[in-house]
Amino acid sequence: MTASAKQRPLIALTPDVQERGGSGLNSYVHKEYTDAVLAVGGLPMVLPLTDDELALEALLARVDGLLLTGGGDVDPAFFGGDASNPTLKSVSRLRDQMELFLTRRLLDEGRRPVLGICRGCQVMNVAAGGTLVLDVPSEIGAAVNHSDPRQFELVHDVNIEAGTRLHALVGATTIRVNSSHHQAVKELAPCLRVSARSARDGVVEAVELDGPQFFLAAQWHPERLHARHEPSAALFRAFVAAAAAKPRRTLRKK
Ligand SMILES: [Mn+2]
């Protein structure tokens, strides 16, 4: 990378949340996310876990792109689903509110790139008006194990839709991916299109905005693969390149 530090795009990452006992909470990201952004020349910055919209707005004003990381389930109350479903795991309304706010802000702006990974794919669909499968094994079936404990291994095939942004940047119509999710996109948000599905059971594995903004999400974990899996590396390269190409502020409206 020959660009000076000043030219390297600043990428905001949303943190995961973990209860610590009492009312204590940890916020953190897996190191693979920051490594994957660094590897393609981006400067990762982990956001504080907060639903303070004024602070989030001020932070957002300073960054060039947003990466929504993996984690627990989105509260079904945000998309009219059954909040008492017993399969729900690690629901955090604080994290949901923070990420839905940030995602909708950038979707409305229509300019800076957003990359969603795993839960991030689900957050982006919900933010844009879609719904989620609450539990793939009980609602779709177990033909494919989407919660494979081998988190860094390629475990199932994904078919990529021709003509999508994902297809253009990966350059293949079938790839093999890792899989650590029990939820998935159900009803697609009106502005999104499906860019990939799991080969055997049709589970949505990637979505994207149908338009010029890079607003793309993968249900798998490219950050765990990027160093040795070209399709995952290509995803980070395209995201950070989109962030580098977009000025933070513009005098024009979109
Ligand atoms: Mn999967």
List, for residues 126-172, the tens digit of each pLDDT value: 999 999 999 999 999 999 999 999 999 999 999 999 999 999 999 99
Roughly what angle, to the nearest 10 degrees, separates helices 31-39 and 230-245? 70
Which residues, 6 or more positions from 141, have their beta carbon under 8 angstroms from its beta carbon?
Answer: 201
Q: Which of 146, 156, 221, 229 is catalytic?
A: 221
The pairs formed by 160-163 with CB atoms below 8 angstroms and a separation of 24 or more are 160/195, 160/196, 160/206, 161/193, 161/194, 161/195, 161/196, 161/197
* Domain count within the chain: 1
Does the annotation mark 191 as catalytic?
no
Q: Residue 252: inside a domain, yes or no? A: no
pLDDT one-digit tens code per residue, 182-208: 999 999 999 999 999 999 999 999 999
How many angstroms separate the alpha carbon of residue 220 from the centre of ligand 1? 6
104-119 average pLDDT score:
98
Q: Residue 251: inside a domain, yes or no? A: no
pLDDT one-digit tens code per residue, 20-43: 989 899 999 999 999 999 999 999
Element (H, E) at 243: helix 230-245
How many angstroms separate the alpha carbon of residue 231 from the centre of ligand 1? 15
Does the annotation mark 221 as catalytic?
yes
Query: Can you give the CATH number for the domain in which 54 is found?
Result: 3.40.50.880
Per-residue confidence band for 4, with pLDDT thresholds at 50, 70 and 90: low
How many angstroms separate the alpha carbon of residue 120 from the centre of ligand 1? 14
What is the span of the domain harbouring residue 189?
5-245
How many angstroms separate the alpha carbon of residue 203 from the centre of ligand 1? 7
Decide: residue 16, CB within 10 A, 0-12 exposed, 13-18 middle, 19+ buried.
Answer: buried
Q: Tell whether the model's pLDDT for residue 248 goes beyond 70.
A: no
Q: Residue 253: inside a domain, yes or no? A: no
Q: pTM value?
A: 0.94
Q: Residue 250: inside a domain, yes or no? A: no
Q: Residue 96: inside a domain, yes or no? A: yes
How many angstroms separate the alpha carbon of residue 87 from the centre of ligand 1? 17
How many angstroms separate the alpha carbon of residue 179 from the centre of ligand 1? 4
- Among 99, 136, 95, CA closest to 219: 136
Element (H, E) at 158: strand 156-160
Q: Residue 108: inside a domain, yes or no? A: yes
Q: Residue 84: inside a domain, yes or no? A: yes
Q: Which of 118, 146, 156, 205 is catalytic?
A: 118
Whole-number Cα distances in Å, 204 to 47, 199, 226: 28, 10, 21
Q: Residue 139: inside a domain, yes or no? A: yes
